[in-house]
Amino acid sequence: MLNKYARAFFTRVLTPFAAFLIRRGVSPDTVTLIGTAGVVAGALVFYPRGEFFWGTVVITLFVFSDLVDGNMARQLGRTSRWGAFLDSTLDRVADGAIFGGFALWYAGNGDNNALCAVSIFCLASGQVVSYTKARGESIGLPVAVNGLVERAERLVISLVAAGLAGLHTFGVPGIQWLLPIALWIVAVGSLVTLIQRVVTVRRESAEAEAAARHDASQGSEAAK
């Protein structure tokens, strides 16, 4: 739902900015690299120190590069396999940095091994969820399911919760518990999504193999 509606909204909003960068000679790949570097820096500099509010502010500023670079490529008419590959690969790097930052906090001053483990699970499951779709499509299956929690949902839930939890340092009481709750939601949602995709690939694979056997038998009959 977020991919369908929020992405379309922000694409319209960011189109003038994308056009401005094009006029300045900035390439889409440069925007992708800078955006990823900003997200990684925001996550790994601020989150391990428990500075969730400012870390989220920095990450949010750079995470929109994921929309800007694609917008620039479309305006330039340069959409390419390389651009799509680079964008998808660096998305995984950015996601890993965000949940890695949470894990470092809970392994250190956050002093909570359970939440450290949940953060690591969110990191790993997010990568595997993306892999299942990419791998399914690479073997010719449509993988016709989105799932409960995709990348957009993982980012929104985690970053909103982290930003609000960071208000605890400004004197807002009790709000620090939003982040642990969000991490559990993302972990469970990612697990459900992974199961949904695995089941879908299993079904589509069986259907494709059955169709192939049917076509082969039909061909044999026709040859007779």
Active site residue 215: no
Binding residues for Mg(2+): 66, 69, 87, 91
80 pLDDT exceeds 90?
Answer: no
* DSSP one-letter string for 89-146: HHHHHHHHHHHHHHHHHHHTTT--HHHHHHHHHHHHHHHHHHHHHHHHHHTT------
State the pLDDT at residue 63.
Answer: 85
Mean pLDDT of the chain: 90
- Report CA Rg, the chain: 21
Instruction: Return the C-alpha torsion angle 76, 42, 130, 33, nearest 10.
Output: 30
Q: How confident is the model at residue 189 (pLDDT cuts 50, 70, 90)?
A: very high
185 pLDDT exceeds 90?
Answer: yes
Dump pLDDT digits (tens) for 133-162: 999 999 999 999 878 898 889 999 999 999
Binding residues: 29-32, 66, 69-70, 74, 80, 87, 91
Binding residues for a CDP-1,2-diacyl-sn-glycerol: 29-32, 70, 74, 80
CB under 8 A, 24+ apart: contacts of 98-102: 98/39, 98/43, 98/47, 98/59, 98/155, 98/158, 98/159, 99/123, 99/126, 99/158, 100/43, 100/44, 101/43, 101/44, 101/46, 101/47, 101/48, 101/55, 102/47, 102/158, 102/162, 102/179, 102/183
Q: What angle do CA 66, 72, 77 make, to 5 degrees?
A: 130
What is the DSSP secondary structure assignment for residue 217, as one 8-state letter?
Answer: H
CA-CA distance, 23 to 29, in Å (whole number)?
15
Residue with tokens 């509010």: 53
Q: How confident is the model at residue 6 (pLDDT cuts 50, 70, 90)?
A: low
Q: Is 87 in contact with 70 (CB distance < 8 Å)? A: yes
Higher pLDDT, 75 or 192: 192
Q: How confident is the model at residue 2 (pLDDT cuts 50, 70, 90)?
A: low
Dump pLDDT digits (tens) for 83-111: 889 988 999 999 999 999 999 999 999 99
Q: Which of 91, 95, 111, 215 is catalytic?
A: 91
Q: What are the tokens at 192?
A: 């459900």
State the pLDDT at residue 5.
Answer: 60
Higher pLDDT, 210 or 4: 210
198 pLDDT exceeds 70?
Answer: yes
